[in-house]
Amino acid sequence: MDFLRPASWEEALAAKAEHPTAVPIAGGTDVMVEINFDHRRPEYLMDLNRIGELSEWEVGEESVRLGASVPYTKIMEHLRAELPGLALASHTVASPQIRNRGGVGGNLGTASPAGDAHPALLAAGAEVEVESVRGSRRIPIDAFYTGVKRNALAADELIRAVHVKKADGPQQFSKVGTRNAMVIAVCAFGLALHPETRTVRTGIGSAAPTPVRAKAAEEFLNAALEEGGFWDNGKIITPSVAKQFADLCSAACNPIDDVRGTASYRRHAVGVMARRTLTWTWESYRGAGRTAYRKGGAA
């Protein structure tokens, strides 16, 4: 196995163009497991750790540009206000050691349906900035996941950053696992309220071949909130609306039975998480935060 160590982003792109089979390594918390278990024996391993910009982030007017290698710990420490859903999801990843190394770029690179960043990125409406020597493009998160552990990257492309809109309303993330830490999700759910556009977005993890949104549930809830004037009057969401939303979220799942859980359990649990996260986010919106959110910007 040859080891490539580009010193700059340009060098990394040139190396990936020359060796499209080269496997990038950032935190290594997925790659090294695969190599140690002999599941993968790449001809070239490309270390991205000398490229400082990949571990940096910028907070702009509208969105955050998160370098591909920014570790989860930094998201939790520095971006809790701007990206609350992703910060909550980051909290649930593995252990402090893994959170100090692993990041969103690696989660996207692996594209496991169980990756914890995905539901939060789907709910927030992120875009993945990818680049090759041929040029740069932004892939909407909905189009990024193409199959089980497959993504939309071309062989010569690398992930440079992820652009995530700053929260304009409450966001939540919920995960079911067999214990509180060091656990891959049995299933997970992300929800973001977007008062500016009067919409809600969802993200479901580990309950379909790829991370998915519950689009029918979103459409139903958007219409129900609009019809009842909920965004303005801040009333409690009726139990029948919450139940219908939860049922539609369950219906958006296409899970399998595996060692972590059965398909029917996953469907059920996603419904429970959908109802709970809706209650949490809505309570936070209709409480003290509502006026602040409606003036624009998270409280």
Ligand X SMILES: Cc1cc2nc3c(=O)[nH]c(=O)nc-3n(C[C@H](O)[C@H](O)[C@H](O)COP(=O)(O)OP(=O)(O)OC[C@H]3O[C@@H](n4cnc5c(N)ncnc54)[C@H](O)[C@@H]3O)c2cc1C
Nearer of residues 34 and 142 to ligand X, judged by Cβ:
34
Distance of CA 109 to the CA centre of its chain: 12
Of 20-28, 162-170, 215-223, 254-262, the segment contacting ligand X by CB under 6 A is 20-28
Does position 27 bind ligand X by CB under 6 A?
Answer: yes
Half-sphere exposure (CA, 13 Å, Cβ side) for 101? 12
Which among 17-25, 74-82, 250-258, 260-268 is the span making contact with ligand X, rule CB under 6 A? 17-25
- 217 is an interface residue for ligand X by CB under 6 A: no
Stretch that binds ligand X, among 91-99, 211-219, 236-244, 248-256 (CB under 6 A): 91-99
35 contributes a contact to ligand X by CB under 6 A: no
Helix (H, G, I), strand (E, B) or coil at 132: strand
CA distance 69 to 138: 17
Q: Could you give the C-alpha distances from 279 to 74, 124, 219, 235, in angstroms and in order?
A: 28, 18, 17, 12
Give, as one character, the DSSP assignment of residue 222: H
> How many angstroms separate the CA atoms of 287 and 272, rounded?
22
What is the per-residue binding string for ligand X in 115-154, x denoting contact by CB under 6 A? xx--------------------------------------
Q: Does 79 contact ligand X by CB under 6 A?
A: no
Q: Is 26 in the site for ligand X (CB under 6 A)?
A: yes
For residues 41-60, which are near ligand X according to CB under 6 A?
48
What is the strand order of the sheet 23-25 is part of? 2-4, 44-47, 23-25
DSSP 141: H
Q: Tell me which of 6, 84, 85, 109 binds ligand X, using CB under 6 A.
A: 109
Report the nearest approach of ligand X to the CB of residue 94 (Å): 3
237 to 266, contacts with ligand X by CB under 6 A?
none
Distance of CA 163 to the CA centre of its chain: 11
Binder among 14, 28, 198, 289 for ligand X (CB under 6 A): 28
Q: Which amino acid is at 8?
A: S
Q: By CB under 6 A, is residue 93 in contact with ligand X?
A: yes
Residue 239 burial (CB count, 10 A): 10
**Cβ–Cβ < 8 Å for 214, 190:** no
Using alpha carbons, list the distances in angstroms from residue 294 to 42, 269, 290, 297: 51, 32, 6, 8
Closer residue to ligand X (CB): 20 or 229? 20
**H or E element in which residue 185 lies:** none
Of residues 14 and 94, the one with the C-beta less far from ligand X: 94
Q: How far is the CB of 140 from ligand X (least distance, A)?
A: 17
Tokens for 95? 């252990």
In the complex, least distance from residue 124 CB atom to ligand X, rounded to whole angstroms: 16
Q: What are phi and psi of 192, to 5 degrees?
A: -130, 130
Least CB distance to ligand X at residue 28 (A): 5
Residues that bind ligand X (CB under 6 A): 23-31, 33, 48, 68, 93-94, 98, 101-103, 105-107, 109-110, 115-116, 158-159, 182-184
